[in-house]
Structure 1
Amino acid sequence: MSNQFLFADEPTKQQELPQECWKILIVDDEPEVHAVTKLALSDFSFLGRGLEFHSAYSGEEARELATQHPDAAIVLLDVVMETDDAGLHVAKFIREDIGNRFTRIILRTGQPGQAPERTVIVNYDINDYKSKTELTAQKLFTAVMSSLRSYRDIISIDHSRHGLEKVIASSTNLFALQSMEHFVDGLVQQLSWVIGGARQTLYAAAGRSANPAHMIIRAAYGEDADQLMNQQIKASLPKHVLPEVDKVVRSHGIFYGEDFVLAYCPSQCRPQGALLCMIGLTRDLTDSEKDLLQLFADNVQLAHDNVTCLQDTDELMADMVSRLMVLEQEHVAKSLRQQTPFVQVTHALATQLQLSPARVQQTATAATMYERAEQLFAVMDQQPASKVSPCQERLKRAVRPLHMADSDAAQIAYRALNERLERFDGLGLPEGKQGQSIAIESQVLGMAMHFSKLAGHDLSDEGIVQRLQEERERHFSAALVDAVSANISALRSLIK
């Protein structure tokens, strides 16, 4: 059996910029150096954020501190502490052992001859080298300011990379709702970093409602992003922003406040579009940034509208599937002999396992949909690993109306398709379900499909039974194997 299944990996966590202060790690064995450094930088501010100091007095303490604070912007690192090269070992630990390539390392030494600048710069991944005798308060200020700018830019590039990864990964399937939400999330993250300076960037969509109060946050970046997701936009905005929301929605325009921006994103297929909110700006936007914001507002909703149209299609198809299942169940009940061999085998097995008459009919009806979908899965199973993803997305799109349909038969078919690679012994995919945790209807449909394929080969009844016995308590339960074995001739006659 194939081991291909339809689930994506969880996203990985990335480095974040601080919300309140820039973390500075001071590593030096002289307490007065810590005191003087804090005093010299006491009134320092960059992008509206001050500094937060953490002290270590030895190489060992520095390693612990670097591990506890991977989001530190700068390490002011002494070379000579408990040993002549303790600081160099700390720098190597930060870069290589814990893999922190973001933190800027400024090496400070009172004995430059013991750690020559050229040698240290070449052999260690540090960002600046200063002699304590030349490091005045002004030069320290300059070194910290330039290092913070570098740190900000490096984190910005990393966030842009993550945002682009989301966009690129999602652009392979703009027809899946989950992928589109990921896509918009990536765009919001990209916009937040390209423009910069906002405490929060929120994207709220209105759905079918024309009431701006019903706009729900679909993508969020920055402070409290996780908590704001799926909340109503008006309940999440500061009070001084709220009076402008209705105006922006009515005018379909953009409003620039003192520390916020509201931009309406028009929709072509819903009575209301979406709202982009950038809150807590620390500066005025440039003309080019305003143009970028306008471009985003004009175009991002077009992509979201595509998904909205597909949602509407899914709902229509789900309603049609529900109605079709009613007619199909009546047809199966009245004309079982006119159904495909697979449906007849399913009906016979469900009856043999003593399911209720209603459940037998629902499972046989589900078989009509399962059989059609199985043909699509068979195409995916034949694809090389590099081609599996597009097939997965195609299949998810194809069976989504089954999941949404208000029909027991449709739900049986959908669940069986999700459990088609599970095994009775728990060694299957995607969840490793075992024994009775696999729905009995899924087991029946899986056995009916397996038996139908075996019966299509040039095998005797005994040969089929032998093959099934090999799967006893592995792929299939003993009860299912026994049910087929005991009725092999009757079931075989349904295939011919």
Structure 2
Amino acid sequence: MSLDGPLFDFKPEAETSIEPAQQCWKILSVEDDAGYQASLIFALDSLEVLGRGTELLCARSAFDAAQIIAHNPDISVILLDVVMEDDEAGLRLVRTIRDVIGNAEVRIILLTGQPGMAPRQDIMHRYDIDDYWCKSELTNDHLLTIITSNIRTWDHLTQLTRARQGLQMVIDASQAISSKRDIASFTHTVLLEIGHILGIEKGGILCTLLQAQCEADDATILAATEEFTNLVGHTVKSIESSELRQAFHQAATRREHCFLDGYSLFYFNSTEIDKREYLILIETRRPLLSGEVNLLQVFSENISTGFTNVALYNRLTELAYSDPLLCIPNRNWLMRELDNMSQTDRQQAELIVLEIDDFTDIGIAFGEPFCNELLYCLYRQLVSALSPDIVIARIDHDAFALLTSSAQSLDQAFFAQFLSQPLIIADAEHRIAATVTVVALRLQPNRKPEQILRLAESTVETAHKQKLGYLAYNPGFEEDIASRYALLSELRSALSREQFYVELQPKVRLSDKKLLGFEALARWTLPDGQQIPPSQFIPLAETSGLIGKLDQLVLLQTCRALHELKAAGIEVPIAFNVSSSDLTEPKFFNRMLKLIEDAGISPSQLELEITETQAVKDYSRISPSLRKLIALGMGVSIDDFGIGYSSLSHITDLAATTLKIDKSFVDRLGHSRADEQVVDMILRLGECFGFTIIAEGIETEQQRTALMNRGCQMGQGFLFARPMPLPQAIEWARTHIQ
């Protein structure tokens, strides 16, 4: 059904009236005078109102009248004699009609043969009656006029009442279907609510799903009621009634709301979301009344919206619980699965995490398409190697989780053999390294799914620290986790109280060991005097999102150190380090320059240090900002140069002023010809492209001599000085200043 056309246009199969044969207007005369009853029958015999005749029902007493009214709720007018069994019989009947039977629409005309018996105004005020006449005042024409006008009034009132009740039914039905999110319960509820609106108690109702390019006989029955309930899950061809199948085929061909041979059919679709079409068939065995069509027109809009909402909900569920790259369960799905596991199942289950080592570096070296293909190949290889009962989910960009029972336990030997097999990517063999950890769920009986998964990931971190490729969790690991959390709490407190400080390590000219500058290095000492090494607190700050505050504090203290050095007559630049998360934060560079300006420091007195991996990974994003810093006079140093994945295209246009030869190459000078060639290459790059070259980690005179012989002029390391607190650095500088 197109949303551009009418939402609900019922197409009759033949030119027949959709309304049933119209009945006469029912009028009740409650009168104990047989002669007056006879005169009413004669007077009303030829009366027609709105094209319909009249039928006069007669009662001789209030008791008889109550019985007739109870069995004929469609009586439009009651001519009621005030005095019958006794003087109040008629008035008591009025109360019975309104209050006991609950008929508020019927028009009651009170008649009396004794003028003055009951005052007109008093009666109209005290009782819910619509008219009051003395029999002697009613001529034949007057009587017909009164009855005609009251029939018209009753017709309008009943139509309004039916419309109000019908709309309430539609509202209730719409609320009933709005809470359904899966197609089975939604379609079943739709069928029930349409049946309620049409007043169908036993008529067979069914709903089918049409697939695009699908034969009508192959459409699946999603929901059914009454005698058709046994068809749920089957196809249309399983319907025994040829008449019903024929009606379905015609409706499937038309793809619109229509009425066929006693069946009302409704067509809906959610093709824009999931390319599905739905057809509802209701065995009404009669054409629908115009009022029912109107109600279904309103309800039909809610059904149409409901099918779209169910499709959207299913799509969102798919996105929420499925990995978009591999189309397999994701982290959310795994947590839901863990949450639904019984304690018995947990006793036999293990959660295994397989994390690819150095995945980020692989991405930098080979690109995202290669990484995607690597993940796909690894997943296919896992599927081939594992039992079908083992669930595989992708829980991070570089990690899979396996959910298995203890009977299917996968040990270290299995994964060693599995990871030794190459992956075939673009017709070439590639081998990967991975870290595998195992958590037995029986050891976590009361933990929430997120806690279990975090525990498995923390075990991966422990394996990395211990340089292990395979590690099974044991409760003792929690002490390490608890200590990390305690340290994190200390870290937050230390940052808020500015308990971090910097030490300065000199950069010197290799020929005469004279001071050329400093590097500021963050240091942290706990209140009890314990020193926390940077290798421990910097990764913790990065993973907890606190590294930005730490970098800002280090820069602030670096600016203070520059002021104190200047006051001591020492004016050399100081290098400070920033993290990768800072570099990619849009407002970082502006905040940094504002801090430097507020501190009264010239950018030329500072040098920003970043690692080679950071510089290349986010090259296009950070390069313009680095160039602005260089234009302001600030140096930009690439730390650990030579161990990353720089390409020549980046090096030729690298936004930097200094390259630092990594300590690992300096350590192997005189022992590794390959490392010596790397050092020579970096020195030539500096000469060709105008970079200043500085070697770090120099610890022996032999290393200093080897570097000078190769043309390296600057360096830093323990041979010259260790990192020092500011007062000690000032004293050292006074004896080594140029």
| Structure-1-length-normalised TM-score | 0.44
Larger radius of gyration: 2
Q: Looking at secondary structure, tell me which structure has more helix per residue.
A: 1
Higher relative contact order structure (alpha carbons within 8 Å, sequence separation ≥ 6)? 1
